[in-house]
Structure 1
Amino acid sequence: MTKSIFLALDFPNWKEARDFLDYNDLHGVPVKVGMELYYREGPQVIEYLKQKDHKIFLDLKLYDIPSTVMKAMQVISSLEVDMVNIHALGGSEMIQCAKEGLVRGNSSSRSKLIAVTVLTSMDQYVLNNEIGIPENVVDTTVKLSKTAKDNGADGVVCSVHEAVNIKDECGDHFITVTPGIRLIDSNINDQKRVATPSFAKKNGSDYLVIGRSITNSKHPRKAYEQAVKEWEDLL
């Protein structure tokens, strides 16, 4: 299995997540643990998944004053997940403190610090008229990505549609994690800026996050394999 596609475990508890993984023979695939599952189960869910050899993206989107984020990251660093994220909108000092917290908590940790830019559920109208940011989505995302890079982040969460622009500005080694991925025949649900795995790869994505296209499928294992094929074969 590829290590580039994270399966979003958007389940209310560990039993449902575990049963889903076991029943569909998805042992060892990279997984994203979000707020719902982590807040219900706590750090033990990370330990369960590590025991099953899952690569883990801890998606908590920390966004608070710098000192609070730093202390939170010191705690999270002990979990030794592969990636953990914050909001780039927290600003340069918060990003620096998040990185410092990861290092202070565990100097040998290899956890990547990823900054969320503009959520894939937002479009141009929401960005301009509800959030109050006057720039377009691409320019805003690139600006936030550059701020993240300049202050110690290893990469960003962004839409597929901005990934290539981020690579141009921040370099090929700056990680792009792209949610809002839908298989060719899937419903887009509440996402607005979506794309297929093959488009994502061509447009500069390093890692994909896929949830409902797989978890809501009648055959989740086949859906995951389809995602891998679209990613690897550029269907």
Structure 2
Amino acid sequence: MQLCIALDLPSRSENLSLAKKLEKYDLWLKIGFRTFIRDGEAFLKELKSINPSFRLFLDLKLYDIPNTMADAAEEIAKMDVDMFNIHASAGKKAMQTVMQRLETFEKRPLVLAVTALTSFDYHTFKEIYGADIEEKAKQFALQSYQAGLDGVVCSVYESAMIKHETNRSFLTLTPGIRPFGEKSDDQKRVADLETAKKEHVDIVVVGRPVYRADRPEETVEKILQAL
């Protein structure tokens, strides 16, 4: 299991400061909407300059018509990122179009599909999608797998089921991780590290428990030891 740290702090300088504190570790770093819109591609290069071994996950959750998603995916693949994500609910054709477009790259980023956001509880999800989370997560994961993606973004509680329905090597990345039982905040379907291990998660994303810590490097050290 690998560790991904969410760079969700309010400013570029705070995110860079956090990255510098963690530069000696083998980590994924997640760059989301706010950070990328504000700081752009230059910020990605700054992160790599801190530690060229940092693996960058651009968390933009692309969702549009197939060709527009493929256009965006192509531009992302030209950047120095190691992974990005799209919405599975854009449909199988959109996912296939993205992957076909990336075939021209000698080395492409990993592509994951978002199944169900971990901010959804079961009631709210069913209101929007008309089905239970497990049912749709399974459907979205199967479509993603068939479309040639590398894995999915899901909650811990769907990980083992998705691997059973697809392939053990099909990646699961899980947000909403509270390593040692910290507060869930705005996430609904959260879990600790022990649960993530039992569910065969490949990459766990941790944000607030690290960047709110007095010494983030000590928290990361503790998480890595637990992994």
Q: TM-score range by the shorter chain?
A: over 0.9
Match of 2:162 among 158, 163, 166: 166
Post-superposition shift, 1:27? 4.2
Matched, 1:19 2:34: no
Query: Could you give the per-residue CA deviations for residues 145-165 of structure 1, whole angstroms, max 9, x where no partner exists?
Result: 001111121100000000000
Q: Amino acid of the residue matched to residue 46 of structure 1?
A: L
Cα deviations by residue, 1:34-55 (Å, 9 ceiling, x for unpaired)? 1111111111111112222211
TM-score calculated relative to the size of structure 1: 0.90
Query: Cα–Cα, structure 1 residues 25 and 91, in superposed 2: closer, same or farther, change >3 Å?
Result: closer
Counterpart in the other structure of 2:44: 46
Instruction: Indicate conservation of the 8 Å contact 1:12/1:40, yes or no.
Output: no
Deviation at 1:14, TM superposition (A): 2.4
CA contact (8 A) 2:77 2:108 kept: no
Residues 1:111 and 1:25: Cα distance change in structure 2 (over 3 Å):
closer
Deviations 1:106-156 (A, max 9, x none): x11231110000000101100112x1x232211111110001111121100
1:178 aligned partner: 174
Q: In structure 2, how many angstroms separate the alpha carbons of the residues matched to 1:81 and 1:205? A: 21
**Does structure 1 retain, via aligned residues, the 8 Å contact 2:45–2:80?**
no
- SS in structure 2 at match of 1:85: strand
How far, CA to CA, are the matches of 2:80 and 2:16 in structure 1? 20
Contact 1:21/1:27 (CA < 8 Å) preserved in 2?
no
* Residue correspondences, number: 224
State the structure with bigger RCO (CA 8 A, min sep 6), 1 or 2. Answer: 2
Q: Quick check: 64-73 or 47-56, which moved more? A: 47-56
1:32 is matched with which residue?
30
Q: 1:83 Cα deviation (Å)?
A: 0.9
Corresponding residue number in structure 2 for 1:143: 139
- If the length of structure 2 is used for normalisation, what is the TM-score? 0.93
Distance 2:48 2:215 in 1: 25
Whether the 8 Å CA contact 2:6–2:31 is kept in 1: the answer is: yes
User: For residue 95 of structure 2, what is the aligned residue in structure 1?
Assistant: 95
**CA–CA separation in structure 2 for the residues paired with 1:223 and 1:66:** 41
Name segments (4+ residues, structure 1) moved above 6 Å.
none
Q: Residue 206 of structure 2: which of 204, 210, 230 is its match?
A: 210
Could you tell me how far apart the structure 1 residues matched to 2:194 and 2:217 are? Answer: 18
Q: Please report how far the alpha carbon of residue 13 of structure 1 lies from its aligned counterpart in structure 2 after TM superposition.
A: 3.3
* SS state at 1:43 partner: helix
Letter in 2 for 1:59: D
**How many angstroms apart in 2 are the aligned matches of 1:91 and 1:66?**
8
Q: Distance in 1 between matches of 2:65 and 2:22?
A: 41
Structure 1 residue aligned with 2:67: 67
Runs of 5+ consecutive residues of structure 2 not aligned to the other structure: none
Tell me the secondary structure at the aligned position of residue 143 of structure 2. helix
Structure 1 position 183, deviation (Å): 2.0
**In the alignment, which residue of structure 2 is the partner of 1:77?**
77
Say what the alpha-carbon RMSD is for the aligned residues: 1.5
Residue 191 of structure 1 aligns to a residue in which SS? coil
Q: Give the match's secondary structure for 1:217.
A: coil
Give the AA of the match of 1:87.
H
